Structure 1
Amino acid sequence: MTRRLMNWAAAAAIALLGWTSTPSQAQEWRGWNIHPPDYPVSKGMDRFTELVAQRSNGRLKLKTYHSAQLGQQDEAIQQMRLGSIDFAEFNLSPLNNLVASTQVLTLPYLFRDVEHLHRVVDGPVGDQIAAELEKVGIVPLAWYDAGARSFYTRNKVTKPEDLKGMKIRVQTSDLWIDLVKALGANPTPLPFGEVYTSLQSGVIDGAENNWPSYESTRHFEVAKYYITDEHSNVPEILAVSATRWRRLNDADKKLLKDAARESATHQRQLWAEREKVSRERVIAGGAVVTDLEDRSGWSALMKPVYDKYAADPKMADLVKQIRETK
């Protein structure tokens, strides 16, 4: 790890040396993205780089390296903080240990729907969390969609009690483990690549994810019952390195923010379209979907989770602001 950090620091120093150009000279930026080029996030980032190039008359040249070409997410976060990656699109979960306030957006059953989510992150709450992230070297410019996550199982589930005793695959996260425990199920952390065979063999009884992931991994073939409990709807951030950001003039900062927000509108539309297509594909493939209109019985079981993760006054205030957002 020490050697890796030294390499990142050296790369950051080289990047800074290359940044001594005058404002009229072209600046070449490197961008990180974990997703393949045809993914809605990737297309959103491509729109961002196109808009920046157009509006700066080619002076700001941004290139996104898709498919984790510049390393995995934890590595990319460190590289951005050191200044050797200039912009990126990150999931919030790996940022939870860096900035505690990001955890509030991962709390279960917090958002009423995707429109409520957008109003929250595009408003004062999003600005507060962005300000905290900037302190650790990451400057969010816009919020992207990553979809609502729901449970899918080998046996039909229509209410929380049906999950009791089931082995449910979760991400390696204390919050996710506690969420599943609160529903009476047995959380089973597993690498994502092992979920299909584990469902197929009965090692686990279910998992949870969004529509595109459920469809693209073909998990619907081995766990055909999907219930739209939408326990999580965690947004992602399109961000730039604070090292780059602090060297920009106000006009270029506005240019980048405007382009990022326009790209977010584009990405959100693409995501909604992809969700619809994925849902149609899994139903055509034999999946049985239970649509929930009332999630109050599910959210009522989350008190232990909120007592543990939102008891701090600052977190409690953010939760209050989110719930009061109209």
Structure 2
Amino acid sequence: MKLGRSFLLATLAAFIITLYAFPAMAASSWRLSNQLPPSHFISKGMDFFAEKVSEYSNGEMKVEVFHSAQLFKDTEIVEAIQEGLVELALVPVNKWSGMVPAADIFEMPFVFKDLSSPKKFIEAGAGEILDNEFQAKGAKVVFWVDYGLVQFYNNKRPLAKPADFDGLKIRTFSKGTADTVKALGGIPAVMSSSEMYMALQRGTVDGATTGMPAAVSRKIYEVQKYMTLANYTTAQFFVQGNFEWWDSLSDKEKEVLLKAGADAAESIRGSIADSEDKAYNVIKEGGVEIYALNDEERAAFVKATESVRSEFMQQTGEISHKLMEILESID
């Protein structure tokens, strides 16, 4: 009888120890959807984020990155995050423009002065304002991902003045970039980045607007004759999580993800200038004729796109005014 009772108590004790130890031993594993190819500097930043999550959690947390739209295309990713079909994803900010119109601030032509401007803008209060809007729609910003500046490409002629856009069908990636192309006299065609190469190769569109690193990683320079170095806007991204999933995490898990995200954001920012320089050289050596706008030509582009900025302010109300005030306050 005593032996049986001792055995029972020992078994119960072992069970209790196992029960309480299990959460510490079980690794949490989550997926991150990324539509960019592995060679892109942002994709490398996603891998860096995953490495830091593992490091800061001592291997108890794991993020598995799926590149090249293996899980979702950029046109599908917002719904996937909202519905909890994936825990984390690299999301182009412009994909929220229909539900959060103020997100189009990043697509406004000629509002960011240089590569450092997006970080200053986000840290000056814009990041918090926008994140509150996204949380109300079911998504949480884990960290912001700067991309670099955006250029124009086409197969017809150098684009030195707005009139040169007349009649050209240009691939765009958002409402803001589409409005810009239209204001310049072109015909915008919004399509996924994964569909861009084939459309250009087949002549479905005459040109495209994208960043130089993407033009290299997507091999756009192989099927285009001209690039206009305009630096007219930026294509901002962020890594977002499904809000219900985020809310279910422990404080420690959130802390690890935010810390790893901050490191990844800085790593990516540190790669932008080098990535742009290397991409420029690849594009040039690939035979693309590069035309750089001078100050007078750039001023003509700014004037031609004033309607895009004005319409944005009218349609997005108080939030856009706050965001524009922040833009005007940064150096």
The verdict on a shared fold, with TM-score over 0.5 as the criterion, is: yes
Deviations 1:22-55 (A, max 9, x none): 4664211122111222322221111111111111
Structure 2, unpaired ranges of 5+? 1-21
Taking the aligned partners of 1:53 and 1:73, their CA distance within structure 2 comes to 26
Deviations 1:84-132 (A, max 9, x none): 4111111112211222221112111111111112211233111211121
Q: What is the match of residue 215 of structure 1?
A: 216
Q: What is the match of residue 229 of structure 2?
A: 228
Taking the aligned partners of 1:47 and 1:76, their CA distance within structure 2 comes to 21
1:43 aligns with 2:44: yes
Deviations 1:156-213 (A, max 9, x none): 23233333x24131337543333122213333556524432355xxx65433221123
Partner SS for 1:158: coil
1:309 aligns with 2:312: yes
Taking the aligned partners of 2:201 and 2:77, their CA distance within structure 1 comes to 30
Taking the aligned partners of 1:148 and 1:317, their CA distance within structure 2 comes to 23
Q: What is the TM-score when the length of structure 1 is the normalising length?
A: 0.83
Deviations 1:134-173 (A, max 9, x none): 222211122112232111233123233333x241313375
Taking the aligned partners of 1:28 and 1:62, their CA distance within structure 2 comes to 6
Partner SS for 2:235: coil
1:291 aligns with 2:292: yes
Taking the aligned partners of 1:281 and 1:205, their CA distance within structure 2 comes to 21
Taking the aligned partners of 2:200 and 2:186, their CA distance within structure 1 comes to 19
C-alpha displacement at 1:133, in angstroms?
1.0
Q: What is the match of residue 55 of structure 1?
A: 56
Taking the aligned partners of 1:142 and 1:115, their CA distance within structure 2 comes to 16
Residues 77-86 or 218-227, more deviating: 218-227
1:320 aligns with 2:325: yes
Partner SS for 1:273: helix
C-alpha displacement at 1:221, in angstroms?
4.6
Q: What is the match of residue 144 of structure 2?
A: 143
Deviations 1:249-276 (A, max 9, x none): 3333222112101111112233433322
Taking the aligned partners of 1:55 and 1:301, their CA distance within structure 2 comes to 49
Taking the aligned partners of 1:74 and 1:30, their CA distance within structure 2 comes to 18
C-alpha displacement at 1:246, in angstroms?
1.2
Instruction: Report matched runs for 1:1-326 at 5 Å.
Output: 22=23, 25-153=26-154, 154-163=156-165, 165-171=166-172, 173-188=174-189, 192-199=196-203, 204-292=205-293, 294=295, 295-311=298-314, 312-326=317-331
Q: What is the TM-score when the length of structure 2 is the normalising length?
A: 0.82
Percentage of identical aligned residues: 25
Seen in structure 2, the aligned counterparts of structure 1 residues 149 and 195 have a Cα distance that, compared at 3 Å, is: farther
Whether the aligned pair in 1 keeps the contact of 2:40 and 2:213 (CA below 8 Å) is no
Structure 1, unpaired ranges of 5+? 1-20
Residues 102-111 or 315-324, more deviating: 315-324
How many corresponding residue pairs?
A: 302
Seen in structure 2, the aligned counterparts of structure 1 residues 197 and 64 have a Cα distance that, compared at 3 Å, is: closer
Asked which structure has the greater CA Rg, the reply is: 2
Higher helix content, 1 or 2: 2
Aligned-residue CA RMSD in angstroms? 2.4
